[in-house]
Amino acid sequence: MPLALHNTATRRKEIFEPIDPTNVRMYVCGSTVYAPPHMGNARPLIVFDVLFRLLRHRYGERHVRYVRNITDIDDKINAAAKANGESIRDLTERTARAFHEDVAALNCLTPTVEPRATEHIGPIIKMIETLIASHHAYFAEGHVLFSVVSDPDYGKFSGRSRDEMIAGARVDVAPYKRDPGDFVLWKPSPPDLPGWDSPWGRGRPGWHIECSAMSEVHLGDTFDIHGGGLDLIFPHHENEIAQSTCAHGGKPFARYWVHNAFVEFGGEKMAKSVGNVRTIREVLTEVPGEVARYAMLMSHYRDPFDWTEERTAQARHALDRFYRALRDVEDFTAPENVFPVTVMQALEDDLNTPLALTALHAILGALNQAIDRHEKLRLKGQLLAAGTVLGFLQQDPETWLKGAGDEAAEIETLIQQRLAARKDKNFTEADRIRTELAIRGILLEDKPGGKTEWRRAV
C-alpha cells in the first residue's frame, strides 16, 4: 500500500511520491529557544518523528534527510533575555539544552540536521540580495521588505483574502511600507541587540527568511515534505513559499505540506500567550515520556487533542499491558521482527495512529491468547517491529513495570522490611506494608523460597 498524506497545499489526501527515493527530504519548523516547550510544541515533535521513522522504514535510514531548525535569533528571545537579566546567548543555550532533554524523553530521534538561524546569516543575506535584484524586495529606512504584490500567487496557499491576511499577519502599518501586507526580511539592530554587517547596515533577519534560507542550504531549492503546526500556515509558511519560489525563479518550494492540529488544555488552544500551558518538563515529572508520547498518538494528528489526566492514565494503562505481555515472553528470541501489515496500513493512511494502536492491541490480544511458542514469537516480533516506528515498547519490560530510580529502591526497601516482619511473625506490620504498597498501586506476589515479586497494578 502506498503512503498517502493530506497535503495542505491541495487540501486533499495524496499519494506520496518523493522527488528522489534515494534522497527523501523533509523540513519541519523547530523551536524558538526563549522559553520551555509545552505540550502543544510537543505534538509536531512527536508527529513528525513518527513520519521520519516511517519514511526510514520505507526508504532506508540512509535515504531520508530530516531537517528541524532551531530559531536562536528572534524578538521574543531578545525580550525574554532582557526580562530575565541574562545574555541572549546564555538564554538560547540553556533553553536549547533543556529542549533537547525534553525531546529525548519523548523518544524522538535526532533529526539528520538541526541548523541554527545564527549559523546561516550568509545564506540569508544572499537570498535577500536575490529577492531585491529580482524586484521582489526593497530597502526602506534601514529595513528590507518583501513586496507581496510582486508575487501573484501570494495568499493562495492559506486561501485567505487580502483583508484576512493583513489582519492575520498582525503587521505594523509602518510608513515606509509600500503595502500594509509587506513583511520584513531584514531589520536594523541597535547596539544592545544581536546584529550582523550587511549591505543594508548592521541588522538581523526576520523570522520567515530564516527557514527559507536554512531549507535551501540543507535540502535544495525544492524538496519533498514541509511540516509544522496549523498556526504556521499563515503567515509563516505563506511567506516562506513566497520568498523561496521568488528567489528560485518560480521553482516549487515543498511538494507536500503536512500540518498538525492544536493541543488544547481547558477547552482552549494551549499557548504561552493564553497562559494555559503544560510544559513538557512538568508532564515528565508526572508520567514517563513514553506515556506522553502514546497519549498524543491516541488522536489523529489532524484532529484537535485535549490534554487531560484521563488521557495519560489510559496511555499508562495501555503501555503497562503491552510491557506485561512482553515480559511474559522475554525469553523468546525472535529471529526477525516483521512489521505487522495492519499497523503499516494504518500509518500509510495519512499517519492514522489511532487505527495503528487499535491494530497493535489486536496483536496484543492474540499474544495473550497464544499457546504455541512459535506463534508467541511471531507476535512478539510484530509488537517490537511496530514499536520501532511508533517510538515505544523498546524498554526492558521489567524496568518499565517496576519503574526506576528512587521510587523503585524505596519499594524494594519496604518489601525487605515486610519480609523481616513476617520472619519475626509480626504479621500486623507485614500486612500494613502490603496495604500501603497496594494503595500506591504496587501489587506483591509471594513466591516459594521466601521471595517476593512486585508489579504495578494494571
Among 381, 387, 378, 365, residue whose Cα is nearest residue 50:
387
Mean pLDDT of the residues in the chain:
92
Q: Where are the domains of the chain?
A: 18-264, 325-396, 405-456
pLDDT digits 0-9 by tens, 377-399: 999 999 999 999 999 999 999 88
Banded model confidence at residue 424, pLDDT cuts 50, 70, 90: confident
Overall average pLDDT of the 194-201 stretch:
97
Q: Please determine, for residue 233, whether its predicted confidence score (pLDDT) is greater than 90.
A: yes
Which pLDDT score is estimated for 170?
55
Overall average pLDDT of the 178-184 stretch:
95
Query: Residue 226 belongs to what H/E stretch?
Result: strand 223-229
Q: Please determine, for residue 76, whether its predicted confidence score (pLDDT) is greater than 90.
A: yes
Which pLDDT score is estimated for 243?
98
Q: Which class is domain 325-396? A: mainly alpha
Which pLDDT score is estimated for 171?
56
Banded model confidence at residue 224, pLDDT cuts 50, 70, 90: very high
pLDDT digits 0-9 by tens, 34-62: 999 999 999 999 999 999 999 999 999 99
Among 175, 166, 200, 169, residue whose Cα is nearest residue 186:
200
Distance between CA atoms of residues 106 and 280, nearest Å: 9
Strands (E), 277-348: 305-306
Q: Please determine, for residue 334, whether its predicted confidence score (pLDDT) is greater than 90.
A: no
Overall average pLDDT of the 327-343 stretch:
83
Looking at CATH, the fold of the domain delimited by 18-264 is given as: Rossmann fold (3.40.50)
Q: How many CB atoms lie within 10 A of CB 451?
A: 10
Q: Return the residue matching grid coordinates 526510514.
A: 56
